[in-house]
Amino acid sequence: MILKLLKDYKKETICAPLFKMLEAIFELFVPLVIARMIDEGITGGNRPIVIRGAAWLLLLAVIGLTCSIRAQYYAAKAAIGASTLLRSSLYRKLMGLSFSQIESLGTDTMITRLTSDVNQVQNGINMTLRLFLRSPFIVFGAMIMAFTIDAKAALIFAVTIPALSLVVYGIMVITMPMYKKAQAMLDSLLGTTRENLTGVRVIRAFAMEKEERAVFNDRNEALNSMQKNVGRISALMNPLTFVIVNAATLILLYTGAVRVDEGVISRGSVVALINYMSQILVELIKLANLIVLITRAMACADRIKKVLEIEGDEEELSLQEDPFNESSLSTGAKKGIGIEFRNVGFSYNPGADEQALSDISFSAPPGATVGIIGGTGSGKTTLVNMIPGFFFPTQGEVYIDGTSTTDMPLRQLRSLCGTVLQKPVLFSGTIRENLLWGGSATDEELTEALKTAQAWDFVKNRKGGLDCELHQGGRDLSGGQRQRLSIARAIVSKPPVIILDDSSSALDYATDAALRGALARLHEEYAPTVFIVSQRTASLQHADLIVVLDEGRIAGMGTHDELLAGCDEYREIYDSQAG
């Protein structure tokens, strides 16, 4: 996955480690220059050699710094570019998931993967390009250079490096699954925070602040404990490497002193060997920290990969392809179209014994008004969500104008439907911008839609009118105002199918009646096919067909009068409301 992200940054991916390797090569020459300065300059009293050696050290430092800056530039460019592509791909994938897939994943884990996980992958790529080749090159390069000075002393390097590698690998194997678990616990904590912030009014209304703080603190402490545990194990990396390297340095000093006393090597050579050991120590510390970053990045990349590998039910829509004539999205009157449910069954968990809907069969002719009513959990919302393709039947078929919804391009299917969801959703921006989600329209058409939705009176009185700014989610509006704006947005393009999913629950009876009258006038204008989900029989009495659901099955169908005469479930609902 990471390699695919870097394919557009081949130059940066190659140049970053290449410049780091050049820096490492120049760094390996530093101990040799120092050894010559000691042996020939200081010991021999040759001042020009010391001056030339200092000049060489300065030149090596300047060249190394230049290479390092270029390497960090290329690494940062590649890492930021790759994380941008990853974030875009992940967002695109999430937008292509169906309702049931999104609910299964959870919004908290999706937010974590889009933010924290992607940032961890970005840091991992950046540091890998900078250090993954440089640090091992310095380690093994220093050992090779040590062998050129004295083979016997260099054997200490040959023993030290495998011991250090074993420590690094062992810690990586232990901490990687722990980092995955820590990220999952972060998901849970984020979910708790999001839930509490969203429902803060309910929490305060029931005086549950203390209990919710306790739940948050428990999860926060669990995450803190996990991060401490993995931190303790990761923290062993530095002291263990210091112990091994310092022990090797002591042995090297003793061996070097003996070899100098025997006249095999010079004092400068011993200093060079110590410098090479110091270089190994510094690079292994960097490598240890890099391993921690890589381990964390790999854990996060694995979590992201699992989302990217999900087959999105709405992948076609997310790709924004147009397999149909774009003119079908234009505004203008469109006659209602017929819709048929034929032996439809649906389960949120395919293969489960219980189904949300079973054996649903009815048809709505073009221009008809269909009411859907039933008890809580009877499947009303699930049924109407099959029309625009939010869900697809696990059994049977839903036909729109004679074509199965599974055979229609999703954008075309959605363009036929003006949908008002059970929970009204508005976005930050102006009222005009929110209404234009329903399609391009003039100010007159927007005003007409607002009047139909009984929203024009409060919109015209707000400062700015159509250009009034709304807060995120329409927090500065009442529930009824949000519902009416959602209805206006759905009907602004005059779609052939209008779906109102309990969209008048926050309206008073007078406004609800006015809304029904305005929708009836739409039938006189262009006769859309309308589906109304409601708990109120008064909202459905005018419907051409009322479908009564009970535990996912049809308990009755017909007009208001027919159901009062022949459907016990409907009559019970009506009596409870009409007294």
Residue 328 lies in a domain: no
Which residues on neighbouring strands pair with residue 344, listed in sequence order? 360
- Given a contact cutoff of 8 angstroms between Cβ atoms, the answer to whether 559 and 368 are in contact is no
The pLDDT tens digits of the residues spanning 126-168 come to 988 988 888 888 888 888 888 888 888 888 888 888 888 788 7
Residue 472 lies in a domain: yes
* Residue appearing with tokens 């790999």: 298
- Tally of domains within the chain: 3
d(CA 160, CA 179): 28
Pair 242, 374 in one domain: no
CA pseudo-torsion sign 378, 384, 385, 386 = positive
Residue 351 has pLDDT above 70, yes or no: no
Residue 197 lies in a domain: yes
d(CA 136, CA 287): 8
Pair 273, 162 in one domain: yes
d(CA 158, CA 140): 9
Domain of 455, in residue numbers: 426-494
In order, the DSSP letters of 539-552 are GTTT-SEEEEEETT
Pair 290, 401 in one domain: no
d(CA 40, CA 51): 12
Pair 443, 534 in one domain: no
The pLDDT tens digits of the residues spanning 433-492 come to 989 887 788 889 899 999 999 999 899 888 888 998 888 777 778 888 899 999 999 999
Percent of the chain with pLDDT over 90: 22
In order, the DSSP letters of 340-387 are EEEEEEE-SSTT-SS-SEEEEEEEE-TT-EEEEEESTTSSHHHHHHTT
End-to-end alpha carbon distance in the chain? 64
pLDDT recorded at residue 531: 94
DSSP state at residue 290: H
The pLDDT tens digits of the residues spanning 231-255 come to 888 788 778 878 888 888 888 888 8
Domain CATH number, residue 205:
1.20.1560.10
pLDDT recorded at residue 329: 38
The pLDDT tens digits of the residues spanning 82-132 come to 999 999 888 888 887 777 777 777 776 788 888 888 998 999 899 889 888
d(CA 79, CA 41): 46
The pLDDT tens digits of the residues spanning 191-216 come to 788 788 878 888 888 888 888 889 88
d(CA 292, CA 124): 9
The pLDDT tens digits of the residues spanning 269-319 come to 888 888 888 888 788 778 777 877 887 788 888 888 888 888 765 544 444
Spatial CA neighbour of 422 closest among 545, 549, 518, 535: 535
User: What are the φ and ψ backbone dihedral angles of 181, each rounded to 5 degrees?
Assistant: -65, -40
d(CA 241, CA 247): 10
The pLDDT tens digits of the residues spanning 13-71 come to 999 999 998 988 888 888 888 888 888 888 777 888 889 889 999 999 999 899 999 99
Residues 6+ apart with CB under 8 A from 130: 16, 17, 20, 71, 72, 75
Query: In the listed set 312, 342, 361, which residue is the last one of a domain according to the structure?
Result: 312
**Average pLDDT rounded to a whole number, residues 352-375:** 88
Residue 21 lies in a domain: yes
pLDDT recorded at residue 549: 93
Pair 162, 147 in one domain: yes
Question: Which tokens hold the place of 61?
Answer: 């430092």
d(CA 517, CA 272): 93
d(CA 27, CA 32): 10
Half-sphere exposure of 222 (CA within 13 A, CB side): 15
Pair 357, 484 in one domain: no
Residue 568 lies in a domain: yes
pLDDT recorded at residue 314: 54
pLDDT recorded at residue 350: 66
User: What are the φ and ψ backbone dihedral angles of 333, each rounded to 5 degrees?
Assistant: -65, 135
Pair 289, 338 in one domain: no
Pair 252, 369 in one domain: no
pLDDT recorded at residue 324: 41
Half-sphere exposure of 479 (CA within 13 A, CB side): 9
Which residues on neighbouring strands pair with residue 342, listed in sequence order? 397
- Given a contact cutoff of 8 angstroms between Cβ atoms, the answer to whether 328 and 408 are in contact is no
Q: Which amino acid is at 448?
A: E
* Per-position b or e across 120-137, b if 16+ CB within 10 A of its CB: bbbbbbbbbbbbbbbbbb
pLDDT recorded at residue 376: 84
Residue 8 lies in a domain: yes
d(CA 457, CA 77): 53
Question: Which tokens hold the place of 404?
Answer: 């199965």
Pair 75, 181 in one domain: yes
pLDDT recorded at residue 92: 85
Residue 252 lies in a domain: yes
Calculate helix-pair angle for 267-308, 118-131, nearest 10 degrees.
150
* Residue appearing with tokens 């708790």: 192
d(CA 180, CA 186): 10
Pair 456, 577 in one domain: no
Residue 320 has pLDDT above 70, yes or no: no
- Given a contact cutoff of 8 angstroms between Cβ atoms, the answer to whether 134 and 24 are in contact is yes
d(CA 125, CA 4): 13
- Count of residues in the chain: 579
The pLDDT tens digits of the residues spanning 529-545 come to 999 998 888 888 889 99
Half-sphere exposure of 456 (CA within 13 A, CB side): 14
Mean pLDDT (the chain, rounded): 84
d(CA 228, CA 218): 15
Long-range contacts of 43-51 (CB under 8 A, 24+ apart): 43/266, 43/267, 43/268
* Per-position b or e across 490-501, b if 16+ CB within 10 A of its CB: bbbbbbbbbbbb
Residue 516 lies in a domain: no
d(CA 176, CA 5): 22
Query: In the listed set 280, 312, 344, which residue is the last one of a domain according to the structure?
Result: 312
Pair 195, 81 in one domain: yes
Domain CATH number, residue 358:
3.40.50.300
Pair 434, 340 in one domain: no
* Residue appearing with tokens 């968990």: 349
